[in-house]
């Protein structure tokens, strides 16, 4: 693998009602101010769901890290991200014998979930861990030859602001994005975590 | 005749040269007029002797200004402002009067003289401050609002002052010039009309009061009940100049009525303005009166400049300068203390303090009034009028101080954020027929504030019945757009039923308000191109979407799958828009489309690609020009490592 000095990061933000968002809106705002990051608000760009496939494929080619940022809806993404997957990740572009466009890129979900983290395990009411639930996404990355990272997740999102947990989460987000950009993330260690933000100090290298 | 034309030419010439230069230097138009006056008067001596006469005429500008101020004030808003109006405004006038009277007493003046001076200097310049706040876009800040309520209180306070000052007449002055007493009544009030007519001369007290009350009642009731049918009747004649004439007639008529009963014409027109503030003809009245007000006020300031007696200034410059500075400091202190007491934010407080620290145009009115009533000696009056003029001249300097020092020091004041929220979603919709109505309903339903203009009185009438706020007026008139607040609007939607006027409006708005987004209804492709060329931001062909919808319904009616219909129509739309863009290069506004060969050839070609595209779509379910979900090739899983 060739080492470039910085990674270009693409955040595909999907939130159908951003003006009511307490988590994804502020996260997106924080990311927008960071140099070297492209933030795409999918619902704003394609309010009629008419996704411009050529444009989206070009965007993928232009970046090294692909992030789906979204609230978790029914253990998956909001509808437009699914539509985006269906249309943009075409045969011979993203997969298939000639589909090598995404090979080697990093992929992760940055998501907010309503339930508490304790609900996401075998004995919790969601029965599966968040990583298990995201397995379709992990397999999508794998089929496209991308390197999958565990989700950067905020649990109990509906009360995060009231409980004062949002500031710390945003700080972590900024720190993570900068580390990804500057290639300071220990990918191998990170890949084995249940979620990316369990302990950032552990996976961000100093040099 | 020749002399009159010459004077008019000199005045206009001075204004035309000085005002744009002053504005460009950031000094504001008022200072421009004052400087123009100084130049043609004291400096080169072209005018001078007639300024007194012209000033009386020009004071009518103040009357019109108060009419416009009244128009801006819905009674409801006035009621909401009452605490600030009386608290802030009342205290300002009372405290300033008291302090300046005290200062004058300490200088050894007689108490009646001192009190008159105190009253005169408690007033600030509504004309300068409102104009400057407007030009700087500060009217909606807290400081601007506070300043406005203070100014409004002062303008109203002039009325009792005019009643009080004659009571302060000095016995020695009265004895000295008996004959001037008879002329005093002539310039009672601000209009300065010479009138020998009076409805109240020689009436007993009770009858006098009755006539005065009757006059005020007729203004209020007439404004409320008669104006609407009258204006509607005139509006239906569609004669613009007659509407202008009736607006002028209204203002002059009220001013005349007020002078007949010895009341201030400014107060009368102000009241009429307030009564008409809720009327749907408000914007039209505003835009009709506005140019007259502007010119007359300009004339007023020129005469003030021309009337400055530089001899007194040079002979006694130290005294006059220190008096001017003293007045500004005392007024500033009072205003600053009030700003603190009323808990204005720091920047707002400074805006109030620096903005209103000058004396005002009513100062001149009161000075000449006091002079005629033997309250002030002539020499003192001319000195004081110099102080008033100088303090007005210094106002732009104080605003520059505010801009440079206060605003720069506090870039993130809390008022700024409030400001932007205040102005969100102000959209002007020109034309409220079949097209504009739907645009307006969507915007209003989404909570966006709109101002609707239409030139058909019956539409306006009907809309007001269903509760839509709208105004009568020909929206293609620049002055009406101005009156509708285009400076602070985010977007203008042009939905009027007239091709060429739509085009003119786009050109005009693009030239004068480059920030405003222009959205226009286009009639056809040619019109669309013309609008694009004129700089429209978004133009929509009026029938395109409706036709497309009906076409889609037809496809569904013959059994095409609804989702496929949606995709086909999207592809059709995209293809059509692409075609418009490529054809625009070949389009020539001077060649008729039917004889533009290159254009026609390309259009035909483009039509063929659409046909081909739809054909492919029908046969293969998929085409590069319509990227949708595509099934992967059959047996593709073979090379996935199965």
Q: What is the pLDDT of residue B135?
A: 72
CB-closest option in B570, B628, B639 to A96: B639
Question: Which of B627, B633, B638 to probe the A interface (max A CBs under 10 A)?
Answer: B627
If you measure CA to CA, which chain A residue comes closest to B571? A50
Cβ <8 Å between B629 and A97: no
The confidence band for B49, taking pLDDT boundaries of 50, 70 and 90, is low
CB-closest option in B570, B630, B636 to A96: B636
Cβ <8 Å between B640 and A96: yes
Rounded-to-integer distance, Cα B211 and Cα B256, Å: 14
Cβ <8 Å between A96 and B629: no
A90 interaction partners in chain B (CB closer than 8 Å): 630, 632
CATH code at position A119: 3.40.50.360
Q: How many CA within 13 A on the CB side of residue A144? A: 24
If you measure CA to CA, which chain B residue comes closest to A56? B627
Average pLDDT of chain B to the nearest whole number: 80
Residue position matching structure tokens 């989206």 = A56
Per the structure, how many domains does chain A have?
1
For chain B, give the percent of residues with pLDDT over 70: 87
Q: Is B642 on the interface with A (CB under 8 A)?
A: no
State whether residue B472 is helix, strand or coil.
strand
pLDDT value at B350 more than 50: yes
Two structure tokens written together for B627: 């990227």
Q: For residue A176, is it within any domain?
A: yes
Instruction: Say how many C-beta atoms besides its own lie within 10 A of residue A195's C-beta.
Output: 20
A53 and A45 in contact (C-beta within 8 Å)? no
Is the pLDDT higher at B410 or at B364? Answer: B364
B422 and B155 in contact (C-beta within 8 Å)? no
B41 and B51 in contact (C-beta within 8 Å)? yes
A37-41 and A9-13 strand pairing: parallel
Cβ <8 Å between B629 and A87: yes
- How many separate helices (H) and strands (E) can be counted in chain A? 9, 6
A97 interaction partners in chain B (CB closer than 8 Å): 639
| Per-window interface: B 558-577 vs A, CB < 8 A | 570
Q: For residue A160, is it within any domain?
A: yes
User: Which secondary structure element, helix H or strand E, spans residue B454, and what is its range?
Assistant: strand B450-454
B450-454 and B538-541 strand pairing: unpaired
Contacts of B563 (CB under 8 A, 6+ apart): none
B113 and B380 in contact (C-beta within 8 Å)? yes
Q: For residue A48, is it within any domain?
A: yes
Q: Is B636 on the interface with A (CB under 8 A)?
A: yes
Q: What is the pLDDT of residue B614?
A: 67
Tell me the sheet residues that pair with B541.
B522
The Cα of B510 is separated from the nearest Cα of chain A by a number of Å equal to 27
Query: For B365-370, which contacts have Cβ atoms below 8 Å and span 24 or more sequence positions?
Result: B365/B59, B365/B62, B365/B158, B365/B190, B366/B116, B366/B119, B366/B120, B366/B123, B366/B158, B366/B161, B366/B162, B366/B165, B367/B120, B368/B187, B369/B162, B369/B165, B369/B187, B369/B188, B370/B116, B370/B120, B370/B165, B370/B168
> Average pLDDT, stretch B545-561?
93
> How many residue pairs bridge chain A and chain B with CB atoms within 8 Å of each other?
22
Tell me the sheet residues that pair with B454.
B472
| Per-window interface: B 358-397 vs A, CB < 8 A | none
Cβ <8 Å between A52 and B628: no
pLDDT value at B416 more than 70: no
User: Which secondary structure element, helix H or strand E, spans residue B517, and what is its range?
Assistant: strand B517-522
ipTM over 0.85: no
Q: How many CA within 13 A on the CB side of residue B617? A: 20
Q: For residue A173, is it within any domain?
A: yes
| Tens digit of each residue's pLDDT (9 = 90 or more) over B165-211 | 878 877 766 655 444 433 333 343 433 444 456 776 677 777 878 88
Q: For residue A202, is it within any domain?
A: no
B531 and B502 in contact (C-beta within 8 Å)? yes
CB-closest option in B570, B633, B636 to A50: B570
| Tens digit of each residue's pLDDT (9 = 90 or more) over B485-508 | 888 889 999 999 888 889 988 988
Tell me the sheet residues that pair with B491.
B427, B517
> Average pLDDT, stretch B125-144?
80
Q: For residue A205, is it within any domain?
A: no
Rounded-to-integer distance, Cα B154 and Cα B164, Å: 15
Lowest mean pLDDT among B55-69, B146-160, B574-588: B55-69
Q: What is the pLDDT of residue B413?
A: 39
Rounded-to-integer distance, Cα A31 and Cα A16, Å: 19
Rounded-to-integer distance, Cα B386 and Cα B304, Å: 9
Query: For B47-54, which contacts have Cβ atoms below 8 Å and span 24 or more sequence positions?
Result: B47/B7, B47/B10, B47/B11, B47/B306, B48/B306, B50/B7, B51/B303, B51/B306, B51/B307, B52/B307, B54/B7, B54/B11, B54/B299, B54/B303
Write down the H helix ranges in B426-473: 434-445, 457-465
| Tens digit of each residue's pLDDT (9 = 90 or more) over A30-49 | 999 899 999 999 999 999 88
Q: What is the pLDDT of residue B411?
A: 44
pLDDT value at B539 more than 50: yes
State whether residue A58 is helix, strand or coil.
helix
| Tens digit of each residue's pLDDT (9 = 90 or more) over B625-642 | 456 777 788 777 777 765
| Tens digit of each residue's pLDDT (9 = 90 or more) over B245-284 | 888 898 889 888 888 887 777 778 888 888 888 887 888 8
> Average pLDDT, stretch B416-437?
65
Residue B110 Cα distances to B117, B164, B215, B388, B431, angstroms: 11, 16, 37, 20, 63
Two structure tokens written together for B65: 């200004």
Q: What is the pLDDT of residue B163?
A: 73
Residue position matching structure tokens 């009571």 = B167
Q: What is the pLDDT of residue B180?
A: 41
Two structure tokens written together for A45: 């760009």
Q: For residue A184, is it within any domain?
A: yes
Q: What is the pTM of this model?
A: 0.60
Containing domain of residue A86, as a range? 9-192
B226 and B219 in contact (C-beta within 8 Å)? no
A52 interaction partners in chain B (CB closer than 8 Å): 627
Rounded to 5°, angle at Cα B86 from B83 and B88: 85
Is the pLDDT higher at B323 or at A5? Answer: B323
Residue B390 Cα distances to B23, B29, B393, B401, B486, angstroms: 19, 16, 5, 17, 34
For chain B, give the percent of residues with pLDDT over 90: 16
Q: For residue A4, is it within any domain?
A: no
The confidence band for B414, taking pLDDT boundaries of 50, 70 and 90, is very low
Two structure tokens written together for B621: 């379910």
Residue position matching structure tokens 């239906």 = B236
Q: Is B630 on the interface with A (CB under 8 A)?
A: yes
Residue position matching structure tokens 């003809």 = B281
B198 and B262 in contact (C-beta within 8 Å)? yes
């Amino acid at each position: 693998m060739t080492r470039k000095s910085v990674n270009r990061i693409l955040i595909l933000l999907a939130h159908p009602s951003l003006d009511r968002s307490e988590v994804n809106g502020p996260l997106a705002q924080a990311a927008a101010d960071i140099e070297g990051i492209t933030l795409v608000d999918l619902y704003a760009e394609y309010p009629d769901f008419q996704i411009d496939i050529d444009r989206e494929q070009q965007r993928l080619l232009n970046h090294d890290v692909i992030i789906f940022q979204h609230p978790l809806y029914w253990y998956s993404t909001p509808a437009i991200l699914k539509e985006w997957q269906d249309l943009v990740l075409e045969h011979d572009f993203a997969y298939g014998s000639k589909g090598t466009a995404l090979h080697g890129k990093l992929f992760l979900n940055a998501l907010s979930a309503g339930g508490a983290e304790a609900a996401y395990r075998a004995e919790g009411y969601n029965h599966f861990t968040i990583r298990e639930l995201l397995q379709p996404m992990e397999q999508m990355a794998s089929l496209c030859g991308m390197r999958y990272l565990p989700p950067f997740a905020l649990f109990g999102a509906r009360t995060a602001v009231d409980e004062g947990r949002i500031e710390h989460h945003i700080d972590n987000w900024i720190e993570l994005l900068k580390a990804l950009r500057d290639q300071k993330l220990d990918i191998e260690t990170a890949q084995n975590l249940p979620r990316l933000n369990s302990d950032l100090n552990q996976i961000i290298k100093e040099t | 005749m020749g002399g009159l034309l010459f004077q008019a030419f000199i005045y206009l010439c001075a204004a035309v040269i000085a005002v744009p230069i002053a504005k460009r230097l950031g000094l504001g138009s008022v200072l421009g007029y004052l400087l123009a006056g100084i130049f043609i008067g004291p400096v080169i001596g072209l005018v001078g002797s007639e300024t007194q006469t012209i000033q009386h005429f020009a004071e009518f500008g103040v009357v019109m200004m108060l009419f416009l101020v009244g128009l801006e004030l819905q009674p409801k808003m006035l009621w909401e402002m009452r605490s600030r109006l009386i608290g802030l405004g009342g205290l300002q006038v009372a405290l300033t009067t008291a302090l300046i009277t005290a200062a004058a007493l300490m200088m050894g003046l007689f108490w009646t003289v001192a009190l008159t001076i105190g009253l005169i200097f408690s007033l600030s310049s509504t004309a300068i401050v409102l104009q400057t706040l407007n030009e700087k876009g500060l009217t909606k800040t807290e400081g601007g609002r506070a300043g406005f309520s203070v100014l409004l209180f002062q303008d109203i306070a002039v009325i009792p002052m005019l009643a009080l000052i004659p009571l302060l007449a000095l016995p020695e002055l009265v004895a000295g010039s008996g004959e001037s007493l008879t002329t005093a009544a002539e310039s009672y009030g601000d209009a300065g009309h010479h009138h020998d007519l009076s409805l109240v001369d020689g009436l007993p007290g009770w009858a006098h009061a009755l006539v005065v009350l009757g006059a005020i009642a007729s203004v209020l009731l007439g404004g409320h009940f008669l104006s609407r049918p009258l204006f509607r009747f005139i509006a239906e004649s569609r004669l613009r100049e007659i509407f202008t004439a009736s607006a002028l007639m209204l203002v002059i008529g009220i001013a005349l009525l007020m002078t007949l009963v010895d009341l201030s014409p400014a107060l009368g027109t102000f009241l009429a303005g307030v009564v008409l503030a809720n009327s749907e003809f408000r914007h039209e009245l505003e835009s009709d009166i506005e140019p007259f007000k502007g010119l007359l006020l300009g004339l007023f300031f020129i005469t003030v400049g021309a009337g400055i007696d530089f001899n007194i200034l040079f002979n006694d410059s130290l005294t006059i300068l220190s008096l001017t500075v003293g007045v500004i400091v005392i007024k500033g202190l009072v205003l600053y203390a009030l700003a603190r007491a009323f808990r204005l934010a720091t920047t707002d407080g400074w805006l109030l303090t620096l903005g209103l620290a000058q004396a005002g145009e009513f100062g001149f009115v009161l000075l000449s009034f006091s002079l005629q009533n033997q309250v002030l000696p002539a020499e003192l009056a001319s000195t004081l009028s110099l102080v008033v003029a100088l303090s007005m001249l210094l106002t732009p300097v104080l605003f520059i101080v505010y801009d440079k020092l206060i605003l720069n020091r506090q870039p993130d004041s809390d008022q700024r954020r409030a400001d932007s929220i205040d102005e969100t979603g102000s959209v002007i919709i020109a034309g409220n027929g079949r097209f504009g109505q739907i645009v307006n309903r969507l915007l209003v339903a989404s909570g966006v504030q709109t101002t609707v203009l239409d030139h058909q009185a019956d539409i306006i009438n009907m809309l007001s019945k269903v509760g839509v706020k709208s105004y009568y007026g020909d929206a293609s008139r620049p002055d009406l757009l101005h009156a509708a607040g285009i400076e602070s609007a985010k977007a203008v939607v042009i939905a009027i039923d007239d091709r060429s006027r739509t085009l003119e409006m786009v050109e005009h708005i693009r030239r004068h308000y480059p920030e405003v987004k222009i959205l226009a209804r286009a009639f056809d492709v040619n019109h669309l191109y013309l609008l694009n060329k004129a700089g429209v931001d978004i133009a929509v062909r009026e029938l395109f979407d409706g036709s497309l919808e009906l076409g889609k319904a037809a496809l569904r009616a013959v059994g095409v799958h609804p989702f496929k219909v949606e995709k086909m129509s999207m592809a059709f739309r995209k293809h059509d828009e692409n075609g418009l863009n490529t054809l625009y290069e070949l389009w020539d506004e001077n060649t008729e489309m039917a004889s533009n060969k290159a254009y026609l050839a390309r259009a035909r070609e483009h039509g063929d690609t659409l046909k081909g595209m739809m054909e492919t779509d029908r046969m293969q379910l998929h085409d590069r020009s319509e990227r949708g979900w595509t099934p992967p090739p059959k047996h593709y899983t073979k090379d996935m490592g199965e």
